[in-house]
Structure 1
Amino acid sequence: MDFQFFKPKISLSTTVSILVFFPLLFSVSSVQSRRLDLKNFNHSHQAFWPGEESNKMEITRAHLKKLNKPALRTFQSPDGDIIDCVESHKQPAFDHPMLKGQKPLDPPERPKRLKTKQMWYENFQLWSLSGESCPPGTVPIRRTSERDILRTSSLKNFGRKPASTVRKDSTSSSRHEHAVGYVSGEAYYGAKASMNVWEPRVDKQYEFSLSQVWVISGTFGDDLNTIEAGWQVSPDLYGDNYPRFFTYWTSDAYQGTGCYNLLCSGFVQTNNQIAIGAAISPTSSYKGGQYDISILIWKGRSQGVRVVNRPR
């Protein structure tokens, strides 16, 4: 993995810390910490009172309808995913009250020092290996299935990290093993990291493995703001062991805001070739081919923070 940071000529009003999680990180969430919230949701194998099951399924399908927007075109991925090409202004982000009625954002303006380098994309996801892409004016979105929602402990927690105390050091515990490289104490407006993509096997549904860039602002208390992007293997979220490109954000230390990918309103996608949450292929192998992706996150002058994924 290699990474670099961009310092602005004029310091930002807040100090930003940039952390890079190294590849093949095995993070284990205790099953006990994910007890079922019976007041909000029930898995399909549990017992229901008469009429309760149909009510839960109605709620689930209503949520699916909210997430899965009408598509102009649809692709079937070899891994079983369905990728919908949704009009940019109809993606879930625009369900947010502050974004309703607004026009789709223009493609992001790159940092000045990188403008001379050509922005390019390869087909690095399973759904697009044959050259597929969504039409201009649309964005590819992985369709959320009923099974995706039924795996979660509660509908309220679907697509979200559990609220917990966040540490920036590399101290490991029985629940969360990780290694971190980070810089802090200065003002930054961007960061770039290249990370090898692997396909680690996790044995339990609630285990996961990831490699990511983690940009944070604020303290490690309730005011924590983060922007995260990288690849992850998460059977709980996706139902398989494929490494997948992901994003995450929160503005209150994972207490009530933010989510993975496009599973809530707030994150606006502009690219029509990359599906957030879709499987990555090919992947690296021991003594074999090595494949990586580059993640670039920066703060634009007029349109806020941008995230760009560049495979290599």
Structure 2
Amino acid sequence: MKLSATRTMFHHHTMETNLGRASSKRMSWMWNDLILVLVFVTVFGVEANLVVESSQFDDRSSNIGNNNSTKMLKVLKHLRKINKPSIKSIQSSNGDIIDCIDRHKQIAFDHPFLKNHKIQDPPKMPSIHIARVNTTNFTIDNAQSWHVNGDCPEGTIPVRRTSIEDLMREKSHQHYGKKIALLPPNEYAVASVDGNYYGAEATINIWAPKVENNEFSSSQIWVVSGSFQNPGLNAIEAGWLVDPSLYGDSNPRLFTYWTADSYKKTGCYNLLCSGFVQYSKKIAVGAAIRPISQYSGKQFEITITLWKDQQSKNWWMAFQDEYVGYWPSQIFTNLDHATHMEWGGQILNSKPNGQHTTTEMGSGHFAKEGSRKSSYFRALRTVDDKNAYRDAINFTTFTSNTNCYSIERSRNSNNFFYYGGPGRSPNCR
């Protein structure tokens, strides 16, 4: 992809816009129906969280007395849709509740194309697979804090429970967890390659960048087919993300995303809509990752692999060699193979008070600071049609705003780069 086209593509990733409210109903009608909804949800095994959240609704009743009751009922209905019945629930130290869901009853199968879908066995990882060099004692069993309090049983998958507070942070609960393609304010520091590819991989160190309200900061891989000038663009994303509006905190979290129509109507983060089929019982997409790298100190990193199974045609994701799950081929319209790969950082710049955001990318430090100070991607690889790795040594780099964020190749490796930045500063306004 030429630079001009690449810049156009960069400008189109963003979060959803606010939608209007529905018409009002009488408060007496609202509370009667609210009670009925809560009773219904109780049958599905998530009543404890909803009752607590509903009491918070009551505490705020003086502020919502004239608010629209229909929205509250629709929020609860949507919550019931995405929070499937749990066999076991685990409280995480960071406040998350992880529900262990029957793998055959996960939200993926609500997709109209997946009604009769059978969960697939994992395919072979791309050939010349290189074992991870573990120098930090980072393991799957301690990668997410909820593991401290338990594990999900066989036959289930871990799913972060969505709360009323999560949905109420958004003006439009129907679009919670979704993106929409718009022009800037997204900014990037990325490496990219163009061609025909069947997967991508990279190892990324983990940070907890400071993020302003209603913004996000991600470090991720993009697998893309098509262009943003075409409404038929298909894409898969995976990496780590800090997004207070989505999660209500500043923890870096493992995430996935997909779209089959240029981020218009299809796709979502993680398991917040139907599509992605979870396979792992150990890793919860959307859950916090730990530990976190320290400036001038110990570094912690994760490896993300995305690749196409040539037999089933499904696109798989692995996290530290753990098969997390896959995107069935049926949900895509134009992803027989990828035409563009990206690795790097992205932030949302909403320009609070008319100034550039202070949201950090990566470690919050520029690429020139280098080892143990800047964030990095290393071991960049693509996957060819023979399911073999190829080092991505001919990547090009792009930064949307060099005064705010930067990217630099490593001097010691041809498939390694540093990236990041602090956002607003004397040179970044």
Q: Is the 8 A contact 2:90 2:149 kept in 1?
A: no
Structure 2: any 5+ residue segments left out of the alignment?
A: 2-12, 25-56, 133-138, 323-429
Summarize deviations over 1:236-264 as a string: whole Å, max 9, x none.
10001000000000010101100000000
CA spacing shift, 1:101–1:183, aligned 2, 3 Å: same
Give the TM-score normalised by the residue count of structure 2. Answer: 0.58
Q: What code does the residue aligned with 2:176 have?
A: F
Residue by residue, what CA displacement relative to the aligned partner does 1:171-210 show, whole Å, maximum 9, x if unpaired? Answer: xx6x2221010000x211111111110011113x211111
Q: Who is 1:308 aligned against?
A: 318
Q: CA deviation at 1:280?
A: 0.8
Aligned-residue offset at 1:131: 7.5
> How far, CA to CA, are the matches of 1:265 and 1:136 in structure 2?
22
Q: Contact 1:71 / 1:84 at 8 angstroms: preserved in 2?
A: yes
User: 1:123: Cα distance to partner?
Assistant: 1.9
Query: Displacement of 1:34 after TM fit?
Result: 3.7
**Does the aligned pair in 2 maintain the 1:293–1:311 contact within 8 Å?**
no
Contact 2:22 2:70 in 1 (8 A): no
- Counterpart among 10, 21, 36 of residue 38 in structure 1: 21
Aligned residue identity for 2:187? E
User: Which of 274, 281, 284 is 2:290 aligned to?
Assistant: 281
Contact 1:296 1:307 in 2 (8 A): yes
Instruction: Please say if 1:156 is aligned against 2:182.
Output: no
Moved more, 286-295 or 154-163: 154-163
Equivalent residue number for residue 216 of structure 2: 208
Deviation at 1:285, TM superposition (A): 0.9
Task: Note if contact 1:209-1:234 (Cα within 8 Å) is conserved in structure 2.
Answer: yes
Distance in 2 between residues matched to 1:183 and 1:40, nearest whole Å? 48
| Superposition pairs of residues 57-76 of structure 1, within 5 angstroms | 57-76=72-91
Q: After superposition, what is the alpha-carbon deviation per residue over 1:109-147, rounded to whole angstroms, capped at 9, x for unaligned? A: 322332x858x734211111x373311211100000000
Structure-2 separation of matches of 1:75 and 1:306: 26
Q: How many residues align?
A: 270
Structure 1 position 81 matched with structure 2 position 96? yes
Distance 2:111 2:197 in 1: 28
CA deviation vs aligned residue, 1:268-300 (integer Å, no higher than 9, x gap): 010110000001111001011110110000000
Q: Which runs of 5+ in 1 are unaligned?
A: 1-14, 16-27, 166-172
State the alpha-carbon separation in 1 of the partners of residues 83 and 23 from structure 2: 21
Percent identity, aligned pairs only, is: 46
User: Which whole-Å CA distance do the structure 2 matches of 1:47 and 1:228 have between them?
Assistant: 39
Q: Map 1:120-131 onto structure 2 (within 5 A).
A: 121-128=140-147, 130=148
State the 1:36 CA deviation. Answer: 4.9
Q: Which letter does structure 1 place at the counterpart of 2:155?
A: G
Distance in 1 between residues matched to 2:235 and 2:79, nearest whole Å: 26
Q: 1:147 aligns with which of 165, 173, 181?
A: 165
| Inter-partner Cα distance in structure 2 for 1:45 and 1:181 | 49
Aligned residue number for residue 94 of structure 1? 109
Note the C-alpha offset of 1:107.
2.9
Q: Name the counterpart of 2:227.
A: 219
How far 1:156 sits from its partner (Å)? 2.5
Deviation at 1:309, TM superposition (A): 1.0
1:106 aligns with 2:121: yes
Match of 1:19 in 2: none
**Matching residue of 2:207:** 198
The answer to which of 99-108 and 73-82 deviates more is 99-108
- Report the RMSD for the aligned CA atoms in angstroms: 2.9
Q: Please give the alpha-carbon distance, in whole angstroms, between the structure 2 residues aligned to 1:46 and 1:182.
A: 52
Instruction: Judge conservation of contact 1:123–1:131 (CA < 8 Å) in 2.
Output: no
CA distance, structure 2, for counterparts of residue 35 and residue 258 of structure 1 = 18
Tell me which of the two structures has the higher relative contact order, counting C-alpha pairs closer than 8 angstroms and 6 or more residues apart: 1
What is the alpha-carbon distance in structure 1 between the residues aligned to residue 62 and residue 192 of structure 2? 44
Residues 40 and 232 of structure 1, relative CA distance in 2, 3 Å threshold: farther
- 2:178 aligned with 1:178: no
Q: Does the aligned pair in 2 maintain the 1:227–1:250 contact within 8 Å?
A: yes
Partner AA of 1:214 in structure 2: W
Q: Report the AA paired with residue 302 of structure 2.
A: I
Greater fraction helix = 2
Q: Distance in 2 between matches of 1:157 and 1:40?
A: 18
Match of 1:55 among 60, 70, 74: 70
What's 2:244 paired with?
235
Output the CA distance in 2 between the equivalents of 1:273 and 1:225: 28
- Secondary structure (helix, strand or coil) at the match of 2:157 reads strand
> Match of 1:161, as an amino acid?
K
- In 1, the alpha carbon distance for the partners of 2:244 and 2:253 equals 11
Secondary structure of the residue aligned to 2:72 is: helix
